[in-house]
Amino acid sequence: MASSTKVESNGEDEALDDEEVEHFDDFTIASTWERFISEIEAVCRQWMADGPNNLLKKGSTQLEISTNLYKVKSDLKCDNKNYSMEYYFGNSNHDKVVDWELSLHELQLCFGVQEFLVIAPQSISGVILDSPEASKLLSAVAIALTNCSSFWPAFVPVHDPSRKAYIGIQNMGTTFTRRFEADRVGTQVPIKLMHLEGLYELFVSKFAYSSVDIPTNFFKVHFTMKLTFRILLSDDDDIRRADADMTESAEENADGTHGKVQWDDDCPWSEWYSSEDPVKGFELIASWSEKMIESSLEMAELENSSPHEAKKWILFPILSPNITDSTMGNRVGFSSQMYLLIDALDMSFQAQFMEDFVSVENPGSDNLKSSTVVPPPTVVDRVLKELFHEGKKFHYFAKGEHRNSQAIKAAPVDSLFAQFCLHVLWFGNCNIRAIATLWVEFVREVRWCWEEVQPLPRMPISSSIDLSSCLINQKLQMLAICIERKHQSIEEFQDCLGSQDPESPRDEDDGPVSEDFSLMQTPGENFDGKCDSHSSEDEFESKANLLEDSSKSEDLISFTDQKSPDSMRRGSAGIVGNMMLLNSYQIMHAPFTQDVPLMTEDMHEERLQAVEAFGDSFDFSAQLEKDILSSDMSAFKAANPDGVFEDFIRWHSPGDWEEESGPKDEDLPDSSATETSKNNWPPRGHLSKRMSEHGNLWRQLWNDAPALPVSEQKSLLDPNREGEKILHYLETLRPHQLLEQMVCTSFKAAADTLSQTNYGGLKLMKTKMEQLYTTMASVLKFLQGNRLSAESEVIDDLRRLCVVFEHVEKLMALAASLHRKLSQAPRLSEVIFKDYFDFYLPRMGTGSSGSKFRTEFNKKQLVRSHERGVISSMFIPPTASQSWRKVLSMGNLFNGHEPMLREIVFSLRDRVNGNHYADSTPTAQEEEIDTHRMYINGTANDLRVALSVTSCD
């Protein structure tokens, strides 16, 4: 303890008198340089003690460089200079780096090492420009590694950073030392070194005794090569663009049209915007297996070999950087406009009517004018022309709707309102003033169609309203039906004025009856036919049906022929089984009846609220249905002149007629059914209790109902009244209610448009689209009940939905582009898309590409033998002008294209047994080592050479 205390005391005294007394140095670290070596050694020993597995567990101290390659870093200081030492390692068990492995670091590729150290100054350049300093620094690292008994190679960056030059050393035991050197020539590459023969001679010159006899000497040199070809499929290629412009100019001069075709012209979104091709092109990497070369003549022959002879093909897509960039300036497509539409929804609460946003008297107009722009009237006219005039060319049908889209309450993608919403997205900058301007003009055009009795384009005319759609679409569908009914009534009126001769012949289909009337269905019988008219021909058909069904009854025929004109049957749809009227010996006829009045969703809600307010009494329910009931009664009286109230109940509401016990017709043979019904006439039974009560509303309506067939009745749907109510709704609709329905419809229509894309049935894309519809339905449901208010959290949810939609839209563009380019190789398009999907997946649900995400997609795929023809067809031979522009300085052409990059590895191997490399250790007697290795990375204008030499020190 005393000695320890004494040491501490001496340390304190030295710290106090540091400026006057020289610090005591141990003899083992007497100099600054030796202390620097000691620091390197301490760091290396710590890394060696931890090992790769423990270093990988320390997430804060290691950084992933590429697949199966990591690094740790330590800062060092010597003579007021700061250095950083990096240790690169992997968790693989390979003893040797495999040539052309896709995930290799540049130093691994250059020198064939697996794990290594890099020590460099902490400066802007990151290199050592002074050669003596570089040699001294490398010697310090080598001594430290020797003291640690480590075989790690160490490298120091030297010269100018653009040269990517290194010097390095590796201690391989007591016998061998390997030295490394790499440098680059960026300009004026000698012609000889552009060809394989000259590169071979350059390598041999490093170990041959005389360079004069290199071409004739035979050396067993191991050779392997990798060529990279690039094909650009977009306008980024200047040469392709220039040729395309020349071609287009020729075509334009010939026929006056512009012949340029975008990559997505056949995609469903091309009607609204043109997307940048996410796949700019492809890189094809062709690698040769290792060969033994004995002369430069063989290298000359190899330069003429085709890439089709390569052992392996690797395909790498060149993707646009914008596909991963989510900044506002790079947003393209529906999602970019959705952001603006959500902003307009957020501002829609500032006014009561849409006209207020257009009017200059609006209190908030100053703020609006400063940030919003309204397109000129010519643009408004063009949009209205596309919606109303050109839209008449397209018949409505539900096309392209995804099976999951029904969960979203919005207009169908092909409907008028959905097309209006899609046009709004691209109208100006989709601000609230521009939307209000276009909406006002849209409603005016709808009113013009109503007043001029012109059909609404893109709207179906059916006997029902699609209640699963948004309310505006229901109103427009109702208005289209009202216009059609109004048009029919005008035509009928004109027909009546034009046909003054009662004896003029009439065709069977010329009656003024609308074909929209449905057929009445009664229990046990379905009737088919059209609505009746007053013509004698229809009366004759009615009699014929009656005679046919009761041909065995002469009394019935005689009775029918003796009927007076006032009681003749009209509007019959056919007999009702074998039912007989109570007070006359006649078969009951079912009448044609009017359709149930059409109602939109808000009309149904009003009726339900009325029922809840007044109670669910029978009388009130009958009062709500009295118009329909009275119409049915009038039609029944016209079809059955001798019918009574009880007969109507038996047909319309069989449950309110209680039959008395007696033989059933069903138990008898069919041949005797008619006779049985005659014998059982009149039918035995009585009304139910509720129908026989005094003052029953049904009986009162029966007494007041005239005998009129459907053709003479007033329609249950008043088209004039309903049409004006719909226009009033459209003109006074609150802005936020309009924008809510527009947002739902825009999302649904945009998603349905994207879902029509042909992307080759990629399962991941299909699953992502289904997830998008589920997410949309979950978020948009809050807009369907008019529960949205200003400063609602739903606005933020909608903006997040825009982010999700943007991601899916980008993936859809990529899937479509890959399918078009690799349609004949579906496996390749699928695996490339899956690789990018896995790369892009961490960004899903986020609005920005932060630093935590990898920004470069570098996954490559192996091309199988049966897929090579597809890839080869993409490399179209260059035209004469392209060949003239590009000087073909290198060999190994692929369909006329020279490689953009050529990489070669030369190596000379020797066994240590029996030569000057021999080692005394028995385990090294049969080891084969690379005595010389050269890596060459070159193009016609760039050449990089890395040489490693093993020597016996």
Q: Which residue has the higher pLDDT, 925 or 34?
A: 34
Q: Provide the sign of the torsion angle of the four alpha carbons 215, 220, 221, 227, taken in this order.
A: positive
Q: Which residue has the higher pLDDT, 789 or 637?
A: 637
From residue 360, give the alpha-carbon distance in Å to each of 351, 364, 371, 433, 747.
12, 9, 14, 11, 31
- Residue whose pair of structure tokens reads 């001069």 in the numeric block: 253
- Residue whose pair of structure tokens reads 């590729």 in the numeric block: 109
76-92 per-residue burial string, b: 16 or more CB within 10 A, e: under 16? bebeeeebebbbbbbee
| 677, pLDDT greater than 60 | no
**Distance, CA of 154 to CA of 169 (rounded, Å):** 6
The secondary structure of residue 894, as a DSSP letter, is: B
pLDDT at 398: 53
CB neighbour class for 222 (10 Å; exposed up to 12, middle 13-18, buried from 19): middle
pLDDT at 521: 36
Q: Provide the sign of the torsion angle of the four alpha carbons 692, 696, 699, 703, taken in this order.
A: positive
Closest CA relative to residue 60, chosen from 48, 72, 43, 69:
72
The pLDDT tens digits for 508-539 are 444 333 333 333 333 333 333 333 333 333 43
Q: Which residue has the higher pLDDT, 114 or 259?
A: 114
Q: Which residue has the higher pLDDT, 548 or 731?
A: 731
pLDDT at 361: 57
pLDDT at 44: 93
**Distance, CA of 390 to CA of 937 (rounded, Å):** 60
Question: Where is average pLDDT lowest: 10-19, 59-68, 608-617?
Answer: 10-19
The pLDDT of 284-295, averaged and rounded, is 91
pLDDT at 215: 60
The pLDDT tens digits for 190-199 are 888 888 988 9
Helix (H, G, I), strand (E, B) or coil at 422: helix
The pLDDT tens digits for 452-510 are 999 999 998 877 889 999 999 999 999 999 999 888 888 877 766 665 544 444 444 44
| 289, pLDDT greater than 80 | yes
**Distance, CA of 814 to CA of 421 (rounded, Å):** 26
pLDDT band at 33 (very low <50, low <70, confident <90, very high): confident
Question: Where is average pLDDT lowest: 20-34, 73-87, 103-117?
Answer: 20-34
pLDDT at 777: 93
C-alpha 822: how far from chain center: 18
CB neighbour class for 920 (10 Å; exposed up to 12, middle 13-18, buried from 19): exposed
The phi and psi torsions of 254 (rounded to 5 degrees) equal -75, -50
Percent of the chain at pLDDT exceeding 70: 72
**Distance, CA of 720 to CA of 717 (rounded, Å):** 9
**Distance, CA of 43 to CA of 339 (rounded, Å):** 53
Would you say how long the chain is, in residues?
A: 953
- Would you state the structure tokens that stand for residue 735, as one six-digit string? 């802005």
Please state whether beta strands 176-185 and 943-952 pair in parallel, antiparallel, or not at all (unpaired). Answer: antiparallel
pLDDT at 332: 77
Q: CB neighbours of 96 closer than 8 A, spacing ≥ 6?
A: 112, 114
312-349 per-residue burial string, b: 16 or more CB within 10 A, e: under 16? ebbbbbbbbebbbebeeeebbbbbbbbbbbbbbbbbbb
**Distance, CA of 231 to CA of 279 (rounded, Å):** 11
Mean pLDDT of the chain: 78
| 784, pLDDT greater than 80 | no
The pLDDT tens digits for 723-768 are 999 999 999 999 999 999 999 999 999 999 999 999 988 999 999 9
pLDDT at 242: 44
Strand partners, 657: 687
Helix (H, G, I), strand (E, B) or coil at 738: helix
pLDDT at 81: 87
Q: How many CB atoms lie within 10 A of CB 407?
A: 16
- Residue whose pair of structure tokens reads 């990489």 in the numeric block: 903
| Number of alpha helices (DSSP H) and beta strands (DSSP E) in the chain | 29, 21
| 881, pLDDT greater than 80 | no
**Distance, CA of 607 to CA of 627 (rounded, Å):** 15
What one-character-per-residue DSSP string does 181-215 give? EEEEE-S---GGGGSHHHHHHHHHTTT-S-GGGTT
C-alpha 736: how far from chain center: 28
Q: Which residue has the higher pLDDT, 898 or 519?
A: 898
pLDDT at 731: 95
The pLDDT tens digits for 619-634 are 544 455 788 888 899 9
Helices (H), 822-858: 826-840
Q: How many CB atoms lie within 10 A of CB 72?
A: 20
Strand partners, 950: 178
The secondary structure of residue 628, as a DSSP letter, is: H
**Distance, CA of 284 to CA of 317 (rounded, Å):** 9
Helix (H, G, I), strand (E, B) or coil at 404: coil
Percent of the chain at pLDDT exceeding 90: 38
CA distance between the termini of the chain? 49
Closest CA relative to residue 745, chosen from 463, 457, 345, 432:
345
pLDDT at 509: 41
pLDDT band at 909 (very low <50, low <70, confident <90, very high): confident
**314 within 8 A of 862, measured Cβ to Cβ:** yes
pLDDT at 99: 66
**Distance, CA of 547 to CA of 561 (rounded, Å):** 10
The pLDDT tens digits for 912-946 are 654 444 444 444 445 678 889 999 998 878 899 99
Give, for 562, the enclosing helix (H) or strand (E): none
- Would you state the structure tokens that stand for residue 388, as one six-digit string? 């109303």
Exposure of 590 in the CB half-sphere (CA atoms within 13 A): 26
Q: Which residue has the higher pLDDT, 546 or 654?
A: 654
**Distance, CA of 163 to CA of 942 (rounded, Å):** 10
- Would you state the structure tokens that stand for residue 7, as one six-digit string? 């040491």
pLDDT at 288: 92
Nearest 5°: the CA angle 650, 713, 513 is 105
